Structure 1
Amino acid sequence: MNYKILKLPLLILFFTLTSCEEEFLETVPTDAVTPAVALQNQDEMQKVINGIHRGLFSQSQTVFPGGNTARANNHYWVPMGDLLTGGIIHSANANNLGLRDEVQWNNHTLPDDITTELLWYHRYNIILHANLILERIAEGDLVETPELLAIKGQAYAYRAYALLSLVQHYSKGYLIGDPATDPGVPVITVPYESGPRGTVQQVYDQIEIDLNDAIAAFQNAAPRENSTKGKSQLNINVAYGLKARWALSKGDWRAAADNAALARDGFPLMSEAEWKSGFNTNDLSEVIWGSNVISTETTFFRSYFYIASNTFNGSHIRNNPKIADRRLVDAIPATDYRGDVFLPDAPNSNTSAANGEGGWENNTNPLYQTEEEFENAIASIKAEYGLVSGHNTHPYQAFKLKQQNPGSIDPDDIIYMRTAEMYLIEAEAEAMLENIVPAQNALQAIVGTRDSAFDATNFTSREQLMEEIKFQRRLELWGEGFGYTDHIRWDEGIDHAADGGSGASQVLYQDGYFQERPSINDDWIFKIPFDEINANPEISPSDQN
């Protein structure tokens, strides 16, 4: 962990607590906020857990010293996974928050960029607080109540979550490298310690230990509140889901399938109306885990929906409508209702569009024979989706992600885990095991609810199933940030020009327009921050990716 941060543990704890629980400071002076006070009993430890929850969606400068307003943590990190790989495509040149640099593959390849720095520090901030909680519980003087076990389970699960995020971004993919020798990330299990990189295998081993310990604690823990707010708390389903992701990323197919099935228990698939409602609330039936974003939290122009939703009233969206890969959209069957949220025939109203085809004068869509028809189509889209006058439209514009209050700057919940993902994990794992019928069954269970004509028995080999599963993941999970890890697991590069093209502009996307597959291209690995190398005595410049 960063040695510079280790020298400021009380300040980090103060930031987390004050951003979460104002009443804590009503009874304890600010200069008395120490680990001993903050962790004196389970009620205070729950406040620290709540601080970790809040830190997932707060602007990073409120979570740790040296943060930056341009990165509101998971508001940014979630869509980044699809921005890097061309799931979410920019249609115009808009550089808000440095997002243009993300799609051009500039930020994560630079060790002094705030993307590489803040993702690293945010995840290790989670680990620090998880370690503080676990160390306090290990002292053994607290009564082991169901509520304390819930706190313990969350601390283990959070540490595993952070380590998995770190090793998947700052190390070579488990399935495409040599995990026994490839450098991983520091595994820190004791507060205030630093550490060397170790190996990818060592990191994965610790994640397994933590997830098993989380599951064991949760088995006798108090249940979380059954509400939108409650879904921000981690529980046994979340731990099973994290274990399914961990196992999938390392090719432990049996564990992936089994844990995915356990994770989705009690979270039924959404209806068509729910699926089309915008993915903006944890209230949706299949949401297993998500951040319940507080309306007063000042993310606004730093929020997930500002980055990825075409309904947000911000310049980054108004001037730069987000589009989906047209190769994906064109392949959606007419019988699949998910295709309704993508608008391949939306007029290109943006005269600054990267493809140079914006405005009536450049219209090539035969649906619009007159300028009046062109303008009426724009007006119709704005009316249907609640857009304001300044919003532009663009072919293949996506409306899967929609705010609860479209045309506003309101932040909404961030969904991290849902049942559909678990079915797709199970299908992929069973396919890789060449268990054809179980893979078909898992695929049918999810896709059959979206596409009335879908028949999974048409896919009778591992190869056929995997091609369909890849398509279904790209469609079902569009905009939810899985593109980066999927590409690494499947060892797939990026080629916006192939097979008729994605719709992205090569002039705009630059290096992000084409990237070789991860197994032969180390640019997929995030750089270790310069500050970490300079401050951590156990990491040197020779450890850089």
Structure 2
Amino acid sequence: MKMKFKYYLGLAAAALTMVGCSEEFLDTEPTEFVSSSQIAEYSEANPGLQAANVSGIYATMYETGTGGTTGHDDYGQKGYDLYSDMLSSDVVLAGLTYGWYSDISRMQVTQDYTIQDNYQVWRYYYRIVFAANNVIDGLGGNDAMPESDAGKLYLGQAKAMRAYAYFYLSQFFAEEYDPAQPILPIYTEPVTEAKGLSPTSEVFDLMISDLNQAIELLDGSSVAALQEVDKAVAQGLLAYVYGAMGEYEEVQTITEDVINTSGHSILSAEEVVYDMETGTGGGGLNTVNNNSWMWGVDLTSDQGLNLISWWGQFDIFTYSYAYVGDPKSIDLGLYNAIPDNDVRKNQFQVVDGFGENHPLPINKFYATGRTLGGQRYIDTDYVYMRIEEMYLLHAEAAAKNGDEESAKNALTTLLSERMDDTSYLDGLSGQALEDEVYLQTRIELWGEGKSYLAMKRNKATITRASNHLTDAGAEIPYNDDRLTFEIPLSEIQNNPNINEQ
């Protein structure tokens, strides 16, 4: 189906300007956080003093410039979700008017450590590591066990966020899981002395330890807002960590518990897509009020996000790059793999003026007014994790564990809200069942930053469809070095313990 909108490309494009990037060396104690040394001596008696620091960690996930640049692709976690979606090739850069993401789409960044995007990814996640270390140190250190509920909450969240940061670093800067391979410096205290690369096994051991402690500390606690990590989110992160290791028995157990105890429910068929004929249905995956969302942030215009935002890069109903010449579309191979009786097919439409071969996600992600370029200040929300991920991880783990009945049950529960006939699942087994889970993960979580993680877990080879502007038809294995970022030039120049990739 092709849609027509009034399209004022020239006028809108003229109003946008390019902004260059500036490099900033990694700051171990960013200015928006209260100094650890200033409050550490008081925090044990009054853990609430750490509230501002914990809040600062969460703000880092959506604020602009947190990767240390002024780039219009520097806006926190969702920016790196888009990086990963393009590297996995499920998201297509459908225009080159302004050039943001062109080096990512062409896989040039991942072959040249001098390109700023490598630094941006590295700097963002280590910024969170150091911020989390400040909180942990202020609450008594890595071995502390606070007595107060507030202390347990903040320490649990800080440890979960440190693990979150190391997890994404481990995915972005290592081609695959190899326990003996040195991959990252480990920092667990608020120190500035540069460290060398630690082996993968030690990085993952730290993540597992942090997340298990976080789960224990957060058990029984409630959070004030969806942007905060609770027990279920920490469990979800742990499932991702074990999945990256191939420890699927752990994944199956953890995800089953989250599904059964978190209280979150799968988006219904009506909720997951906007119905253009009736003008109803669908939350546009734009609100934290969706009960499927486990982790996300409630954005308001008061926070001042506008041009530089994930919505600006993805949504043609937001006044920014997607609207004026750099839209993001679905890989045609993946689009064609969605059955016609699957409601998610209708999440994507070809829109006049945006490319004949580029179905856009206008019925999955959209500003509520649905006016081209209409949203100026962002009040549509960001999603970081939703319950559907747990069902898909559970199905993946069960299939790989040989528990095909559980895998099919989890898939059926999800797909019964996406299509009217799931009986085809009954005939799947072995590799065919594993392949189906992987496909459904790519379809369900398209544009949410999860395809790259699934590609690595499943050791998949991606094939870029004909609508990619570069490297169309290329087949790229999951461990190709073009899919992994380089340790940035600034780190090699400033860290005497790292002198090569």
Larger Cα Rg: Structure 1 or Structure 2? 1
- Which of 164, 169, 173 lines up with 1:166 in the alignment? 169
- Number of equivalenced pairs: 457
Distance 1:49 1:39 in 2: 17
Look up the match of 2:477.
517
Please say if 1:428 is aligned against 2:392.
Answer: no
What's the offset of the Cα at 1:40?
A: 3.4
- The code of the aligned residue for 1:537 comes to P
Unaligned runs of 5+ in 2: 1-23, 274-282
2:84, 2:451 within 8 Å by CA — same for their partners in 1?
A: yes
Look up the match of 2:499.
540
Q: What per-residue deviation string (whole Å, max 9, x for no partner) do you get for residues 192-251 of structure 1?
A: 14311111111111111111111111125x3113xxxx1101010001000111111111
Identify the range of structure 1 (63-72 vs 456-465) with the bigger mean alpha-carbon deviation. 63-72
Look up the match of 1:325.
331
What's the offset of the Cα at 1:484?
A: 1.8
Please say if 1:56 is aligned against 2:56.
Answer: no
- The code of the aligned residue for 1:509 comes to T
SS of aligned partner of 2:296 = strand
What's the offset of the Cα at 1:483?
A: 2.1
Distance 1:199 1:515 in 2: 29
Distance 1:133 1:487 in 2: 34
Please say if 1:224 is aligned against 2:223.
Answer: yes
TM-score, normalised via structure 1 length: 0.78
Please say if 1:402 is aligned against 2:366.
Answer: yes
- Which of 146, 149, 158 lines up with 1:146 in the alignment? 149
Q: What per-residue deviation string (whole Å, max 9, x for no partner) do you get for residues 235-277 of structure 1?
A: 1000100011111111110111111122332101122232122
Distance 2:308 2:145 in 1: 40
TM-score, normalised via structure 2 length: 0.85
Look up the match of 1:349.
353
1:56, 1:291 within 8 Å by CA — same for their partners in 2?
A: no
What's the offset of the Cα at 1:157?
A: 0.3
Look up the match of 2:284.
278
What's the offset of the Cα at 1:75?
A: 3.1
Distance 2:120 2:171 in 1: 15
Unaligned runs of 5+ in 1: 18-32, 359-393, 497-501
What's the offset of the Cα at 1:403?
A: 1.7
The percentage of counterpart residues that share the same residue type is 23
SS of aligned partner of 1:49 = helix
Q: What per-residue deviation string (whole Å, max 9, x for no partner) do you get for residues 124-149 of structure 1?
A: 11111111111222269996211211
- The code of the aligned residue for 1:429 comes to A
Distance 2:109 2:425 in 1: 43
2:315, 2:322 within 8 Å by CA — same for their partners in 1?
A: no
What's the offset of the Cα at 1:68?
A: 4.6
Look up the match of 2:12.
none
Q: How does 1:390-539 map to 2 (within 5 A)?
A: 395-399=358-362, 400-406=364-370, 407-411=374-378, 412-455=380-423, 457-496=425-464, 502-505=465-468, 508-510=469-471, 514-519=474-479, 521-539=480-498
What's the offset of the Cα at 1:422?
A: 0.5
Q: Quick one: structure 1 residues 431 and 39, their matched pair in 2 at CA, closer, same or farther if it must change by over 3 Å?
A: farther
Q: How does 1:25-174 map to 2 (within 5 A)?
A: 35-37=37-39, 40-41=42-43, 42-60=47-65, 63=66, 68=71, 70-96=73-99, 98-138=100-140, 144-174=147-177
What's the offset of the Cα at 1:296?
A: 2.6
1:441, 1:456 within 8 Å by CA — same for their partners in 2?
A: no
- The code of the aligned residue for 2:310 comes to Y
Higher helix proportion (structure 1 or 2): 1
What's the offset of the Cα at 1:493?
A: 3.1
Distance 2:494 2:106 in 1: 29
